[in-house]
Every structure is written in C-alpha cells, then in structure tokens.
Amino acid sequence: MRKEKLEELKGYLEELKTIRKKQVEVDSSKKFLQSAVYDFTLSNGRTIRREQLIKGTNNGSAVIVMPVLKNGEILTIIEPRVFTELGVGVGFPAGYVEKGEESSAAALRELREETGYVPEEIIELASFYQDEGCSSAFNRIYLGLNCRKMYDQDLDESEIVSYMTFTYDELLELVNLGYIKGCNSLLALEKAKTYIKK
C-alpha cells in the first residue's frame, strides 16, 4: 500500500466518524423501511407466514459500480456507515434504482452523482437478491471501464461521499484492514478479478 494513500484515506475516515447519535421519533408511515406480513400457501399444501422488508416506494433494488480508470486504478468511495462498528466504510459507488429506471442507467447515474466520473463501457458482473429470505430487492454489480472525471460531484442533501483511487491489490489490503466490509463490495471484488490488469 502506498503510504500517502493510506494517510489520505485515514483523513477522510476521521472526518466522517460519528461523534453523536440521537434517536428521532418519526411518524412510522413516513419511514423508508417498512414491512408487510403475508401468508403463502405452497403447492405442497402447507401455509407459511413471511414478512417482507419494503424499502421506499420502489422495492429497494440497488446497483453497484466498480469504476476502473484508464491507468487501471479503481475508484472507491468513502462514506459514513453509521450502523457499522467503525462508523465509516470504503466501497464502490452504489444506490437504489429509481422507479422505471433501467439498472444500467442507474449505475451510470450513481457513478456520476457520487464521483463525477463517466465510463466508456459498463459490463454486468453479477445479479442477485440482497436478502433473499425477506426482500424482493434485486441488485446488479457493474464494472465501469476507462472511467474519466467529467463532472462535479452532485450529491443529495443527506449524502456525504469522498472518493479516492486504489490499485486492485491495495483494495484487497483494505479488505484485510477492515475498511471494506460490505457484502456487495466483496462480491464486486471477486467478480471483477478476471477483468483487472495486474
């Protein structure tokens, strides 16, 4: 790992740490995370009760993009991850697919909004249910090739995102250091392996 990269990363992580946490009462109908209960009768005659997690008005399907630059380095984002032990995390640009939006369009939009980068080409690496037992959320991981910085960051009011580039091997080090800990990020790293120039 290049020493100056690790220093820069630690700076961002420090800035995004939680120093105070306060529970807020919100009208429960206004929550983003909702659930619904159903009884399902199966073709073998049995009935089972299952609870469904509902995220927002869409079904919570998300896209993840691993953006590779022309020099082979990979663009990562650093974000507050307030429910994790560290409180911050390193990962890849990602977000929810909007109603009526194509997944690949959502991937390009999230990459652009969070970093201002645009790829020449994107490749789908994997698709899967995020939490098969209780949700319909269906995610897709993309690889973005030959990404270039073309715009300013364009974040929602509640988003705080820093970004940095690392080599693939440095990202594996960040996994070992405990900075990359999300399921989708780990799967992206595995699936991208064969595409990354060493």
Among 6, 69, 145, 160, binds a copy of itself (CB under 8 A): 160
Cβ distance to a copy of itself smaller for residue 104 or 130: 130
Give the distance, in angstroms, between the CA of residue 26 and the centroid of all CA atoms in the same chain: 26
The reply to whether 158 sits near a copy of itself by the rule CB under 8 A is yes
The reply to whether 57 sits near a copy of itself by the rule CB under 8 A is no
Q: Which of these, 72, 71, 89, lies nearest to 80 by C-alpha position? A: 89
Q: Does residue 175 contact residue 189 with C-beta atoms inside 8 Å?
A: yes
Question: CA 182 to CA 188: how far, in whole Å?
Answer: 10
Give the distance, in angstroms, between the CA of residue 140 and the centroid of all CA atoms in the same chain: 10
The β-bridge relationship of strands 62-69 and 94-96 is antiparallel
Cβ distance to a copy of itself smaller for residue 33 or 105: 33
Token pair of 2, please?
Answer: 């290049």
Cβ contacts of residue 21 below 8 Å, gap of 6+? 82
Element (H, E) at 89: strand 88-91
The reply to whether 164 sits near a copy of itself by the rule CB under 8 A is no
The reply to whether 42 sits near a copy of itself by the rule CB under 8 A is yes
Stretch that binds a copy of itself, among 104-112, 114-122, 127-135, 142-150 (CB under 8 A): 127-135
Stretch that binds a copy of itself, among 100-108, 109-117, 147-155, 176-184 (CB under 8 A): 176-184
The reply to whether 197 sits near a copy of itself by the rule CB under 8 A is no
| Nearest-approach distance from CB 60 to a copy of itself, in angstroms | 9
Where along the sequence are the contacts to a copy of itself (CB under 8 A)? 14-26, 28, 31-44, 46, 48-53, 55, 80-84, 89, 91, 126-136, 139, 158, 160, 181-184, 186-187, 190-191
